[in-house]
Chain A
Amino acid sequence: MAPWNVNDQRIPQGRLALVSYMSVALVVLLLVGFWKLQVVQSEHFSDLAERNQVRSIPIIAPRGAMLDREGRVLVDSYPSFSILLLRDDPRAVEKSLPQIEEGLGISKEDLKQQLEAARSEPKFQPIVIKPAASDADIAFVESHRADLPVLELMMVQRRRYPHGEMLANTVGYVGEVSPQELDDSNGRYRPGDIVGKAGLEKEYNEQLEGTDGMRRIVVNSVGKVMRTLDNVEAIPGKPIQLTIDYDLQSVADADFVGKEGALVAMDARTGEILAMVSRPTFDPNDFAIRIPAKEWAALNSDPETPLLNRAIQAQLAPGSVFKLVEATAMLESKAIPANFTVYCPGYATFYGHHCDHAHGEVDLHRAIVSSCDVYFYNVGKLLGIDRIDQYATGLGLGHRTGVDLPGEEPGLVPSEDWVERVYHHKWYPGSTISVAIGQGALMVTPIQMARTVAAIASGGRLIPPHLLKNATGLNFGSFPISDDTVKQVTDGMWGVVNEPGGTTLGLVKLQNIDFAGKTGTAQIESFALQNKLGKKLKENGWFVGIAPRRNPEIVVAALVQGAGWGSSVAPIVRDVVKAYFDKKNARLPQQANGGSAAPSGAASEGALAATAVGSHR
Chain B
Amino acid sequence: MKDRPRIQDFDWPMLAIVGAISGVGLLEIYSSTHASAMAGMQWKQLIWIGVGLAGMFLIASIDYHTLLDQALPLYVFGVVGLLVVLAIGLTHLGAKRWISIGGVANLQVSELMKLIIIIVLARYLSEVRTDRLTLRDIVKITLLTVVPVVLILKQPDLGTAMVLVPVAVVGIFLAGVEWKHLAIGVILLGSLVPVAWHMRTHLKPYQQQRIETFLHPEEDQRGAGYQILQSEIAVGSGGFWGKGFGKGSQNQLGFVPVRYSDFILAALAEEQGFIGVCVVLLLYLGLILRLVDNAQKAKDRAGMYVVMGVTAILGFHVLVNASMVIGYMPVTGIPLPLMSYGGSSTAFVFLALGLVMNVRMRRFVN
B176: Cβ under 8 A from any A Cβ: yes
Give the interface size class of chain A.
35 or more
Query: Is residue A24 within 8 Å, beta carbon to beta carbon, of the partner chain?
Result: yes
Least Cβ–Cβ distance between B179 and chain A, in angstroms: 14
A588 beta carbon closer than 8 Å to chain B: no
Cβ contacts under 8 Å, B289 to chain A = 20, 23-24
The B292-310 residues at the A interface (CB cut-off 8 A) are 292, 295-296, 298-302, 304, 308
Q: Is the pair B236, A26 in contact by a Cβ cutoff of 8 Å? A: no
- Is A44 an interface residue, CB under 8 A from the partner? yes
Contact B239 A38 (CB under 8 A): yes
Select one of A8, A17, A35 contacting B301, CB under 8 A: A8
Q: When A6-B300, A38-B273, A42-B236 are in contact, do A52 and B255 touch as well, CB less than 8 Å?
A: yes
With a CB–CB cut-off of 8 A, which chain A residues contact B170?
A: 19
Q: Are B237 and A49 in contact (CB under 8 A)?
A: yes
Name A24's closest neighbour in chain B (CB-CB): B285
B319 with A26: CB separation less than 8 A:
yes
A5 contacts B301, C-beta separation under 8 Å: yes
A34–B274 CB distance below 8 A = yes
For chain A, residues 27 to 48, give those with C-beta under 8 angstroms from any C-beta of chain B.
Answer: 27, 30-31, 33-39, 41-42, 44-46, 48
Q: Which residues of B contact A20 (CB under 8 A)?
A: 288-289, 292
Closest to B287 in A: A23
What is the bound-complex CA distance between A35 and B302, given in angstroms?
39
Assess the B301–A9 pair: CB atoms within 8 A: yes
**Residue among A6, A8, A44, A91 making CB contact with B236, cutoff 8 Å:** A44
Stretch of A217-225, A352-360, A506-514 with 4 or more beta carbons under 8 angstroms from chain B: A217-225
Nearest chain A CB to B151 CB, angstrom units: 21
B86 CB → nearest A CB, Å: 27
Is A226's CB within 8 Å of the partner chain B? yes
Q: Is the CB of B174 within 8 A of A45?
A: no
Q: How far does the alpha carbon of A26 sit from the alpha carbon of B321 in the complex, in Å?
A: 13
User: Which stretch (B10-18, B65-73, B93-101, B102-110) binds chain A?
Assistant: B65-73
In the complex the two chains form, what is the Cα distance from A104 to B24 in whole Å?
Answer: 48
User: Does B23 touch A at the CB level, under 8 Å?
Assistant: no
Q: Mark A205-226, 1 if CB is under 8 A from B, else 0.
A: 0000000000000111110001
- Closest Cβ of chain A to B61, distance in Å, is 19
The residue that B123 contacts in the complex, of A1, A27, A30, A222, with Cβ under 8 A, is A1
Question: Do A4 and B302 touch across chains, with their CB atoms under 8 A apart?
Answer: yes
For residue A92, CB closer than 8 A to chain B, the reply is yes
| A-B pairs, 8 with minimum CB distance | A45-B236, A49-B237, A221-B254, A220-B253, A37-B236, A38-B274, A4-B127, A8-B301
User: Please, how many angstroms separate the alpha-carbon atoms of A92 and B250 in the complex?
Assistant: 20
Closest approach, in angstroms, between the C-beta of B75 and any C-beta of chain A? Answer: 10
Among the listed stretches B182-190, B217-225, B339-347, which one makes contact with chain A, having 4 or more residues with CB under 8 Å of it?
B217-225
Point out the residues of chain A lying under 8 angstroms from B301, CB to CB. Answer: 5, 8-11
Contact check, A1 vs B71: say whether CB atoms are below 8 A apart: yes
Q: CB of B173 within 8 A of chain A?
A: yes
Partner of B300, one of A8, A16, A36: A8
A4 and B68 form a contact (CB under 8 A): yes
Judge whether A89 and B281 touch: CB under 8 Å: no
The answer to whether B328 touches A38 (Cβ under 8 A) is no
| A12 partner residues in chain B, CB cutoff 8 A | 174, 176, 304
Q: Are A23 and B285 in contact (CB under 8 A)?
A: yes
Residues of chain A within 8 A (CB-CB) of B249 are 49, 52-53, 218
State whether A41 and B315 are in contact (beta carbons under 8 Å apart), knowing that A5-B127, A9-B299 are contacts in the complex: no
Is the CB–CB distance between A8 and B129 below 8 Å?
A: yes
Is B81 part of the binding interface, using a Cβ–Cβ cutoff of 8 Å?
A: no
Q: Does A531 contact B (CB under 8 A)?
A: no
* Minimum CB distance partner of A11 in chain B: B304
Can you list 10 A-B contacts (CB < 8 A)?
A6-B65, A8-B300, A15-B174, A30-B326, A39-B274, A45-B233, A46-B236, A49-B234, A89-B222, A91-B223
Asked if B57 CB lies within 8 Å of chain A CBs, one says no
Does A7 sit within 8 A of B, measured CB to CB?
A: yes
Which chain A residue lies CB-closest to B277? A34
Question: Does chain A have a CB within 8 A of B20?
Answer: no
Q: Which residues of B contact A10 (CB under 8 A)?
A: 131, 301
In the assembled complex, A2 has its CB within 8 A of some CB on chain B: yes
Q: Mark A72-91, 1 if CB is under 8 A from B, else 0.
A: 00000000000000000101
CB < 8 Å: which of A2, A35, A46, A49 contacts B274?
Answer: A35
Q: Are B255 and A27 in contact (CB under 8 A)?
A: no
A91 near B222 with CB under 8 A, answer yes
Alpha-carbon distance A265/B174, docked complex (angstroms): 105
Residues of A within 8 A of B300 (CB): 5-9
Contact assessment for B323 and A33 in the assembled complex, using a CB-CB cutoff below 8 Å: yes
Q: Which residues of B contact A472 (CB under 8 A)?
A: none
Q: B52 within 8 Å of A by Cβ?
A: no
- Which B residues are in CB contact (< 8 Å) with A15? 173-174, 176
With the chains together, A35 CA to B236 CA distance in Å? 9
> Besides the contacts A38-B240, A49-B236, A53-B250, what 18 more A-B pairs have beta carbons closer than 8 Å?
A5-B302, A7-B300, A9-B299, A11-B296, A16-B174, A17-B292, A23-B315, A26-B315, A27-B281, A33-B322, A33-B328, A42-B239, A48-B229, A52-B250, A89-B221, A221-B253, A222-B254, A226-B253
Q: Does B323 contact A8, Cβ atoms closer than 8 Å? A: no
In this assembly, does A13 line the interface, its C-beta being within 8 Å of a C-beta of chain B? Answer: yes
Answer whether A16 and B308 are a contact pair too, CB < 8 Å, given A8-B129, A11-B296, A37-B236.
yes
Give the docked Cα–Cα distance between A607 and B311 (Å): 104
- A-chain residues with CB within 8 Å of residue B254 when the two chains form the complex: 220-222
A45-68 Cβ-contact flags toward B at 8 Å (1 or 0): 110110011000000000000000
In the bound complex, residues from chain B placing their C-beta under 8 Å from that of A218 are: 249, 253
> Does B143 make an interface contact (CB < 8 A)?
no
CB distance from B27 to the nearest CB of A (A): 19
Query: Within 8 Å CB of A37, what residues of B?
Result: 232, 235-236, 269, 326
Q: Which residues of A contact B223 (CB under 8 A)?
A: 91
C-alpha spacing A27/B234, complex, angstroms = 20
Do residues A33 and B326 form an inter-chain contact, with CB atoms below 8 A?
yes
**A218 to B126, alpha carbons, bound, how many Å?**
60
Docked complex Cα distance between A13 and B131 (Å): 13
User: How many whole Å from B279's CB to the nearest CB in chain A?
Assistant: 11
Q: Does A34 lie within 8 Å of B253, measured CB to CB? A: no
Indicate whether B78 reaches chain A with its CB closer than 8 angstroms: no
Q: B312 → chain A, closest Cβ, in Å?
A: 9
Within 8 A of A (CB), among B21-80: 65, 68, 71-72
Among A19, A219, A222, residue most surrounded by chain B Cβ atoms (within 10 Å) = A19
The reply to whether B235 and A45 form a contact with Cβ atoms under 8 Å apart is: yes
- Point out the residues of chain B lying under 8 angstroms from A91, CB to CB: 220, 222-223
* Chain B, range 251-282, C-beta contacts under 8 Å to A: 253-255, 269, 273-274, 277-278, 281-282
Q: Give chain A residues whose Cβ lies under 8 Å from the Cβ of B232.
A: 37, 45
User: B295 to chain A: which residues have CB within 8 Å?
Assistant: 11, 16
Instruction: Please tell me if the beta carbons of B236 and A41 are within 8 angstroms of each other in the complex.
Output: yes
What 1/0 mask marks residues of chain B from 236 to 251 whose CB sits below 8 Å from any chain A CB?
A: 1111100000000110
Docked CA distance A45–B292 (Å): 37
Closest-CB distance, B37 to chain A (whole angstroms): 12
Bound Cα distance A31, B240 (Å): 12
Chain A 440-468, CB within 8 Å of chain B: the 1/0 string? 00000000000000000000000000000
Choose among A9, A16, A41, A222 the residue with the greatest number of B CB atoms under 10 Å from its CB: A16
In the complex, what distance in Å separates the CA atom of A37 from the CA atom of B235? 7
CB-based contact A38/B222 at 8 Å: no
Residue in contact with B255 in the complex, picked from A24, A30, A34, A221, CB distance below 8 Å: A221
CB distance from A95 to the nearest CB of B (A): 10
State in angstroms the CA–CA spacing of A41 and B326 once bound together.
12
Contact A48 B233 (CB under 8 A): yes
Residues of B within 8 A of A31 (CB): 277-278, 281
Interface membership of B348, Cβ < 8 A: no
CB distance from B219 to the nearest CB of A (A): 11
Picked from B240, B250, B292, B308, the residue with its CB within 8 Å of the CB of A49 is B250
B284: Cβ under 8 A from any A Cβ: yes
Q: Inside 8 A of B299's CB, which chain A residues have their CB?
A: 9
Pick from A23, A52, A92: contact of B233, CB below 8 A.
Answer: A52
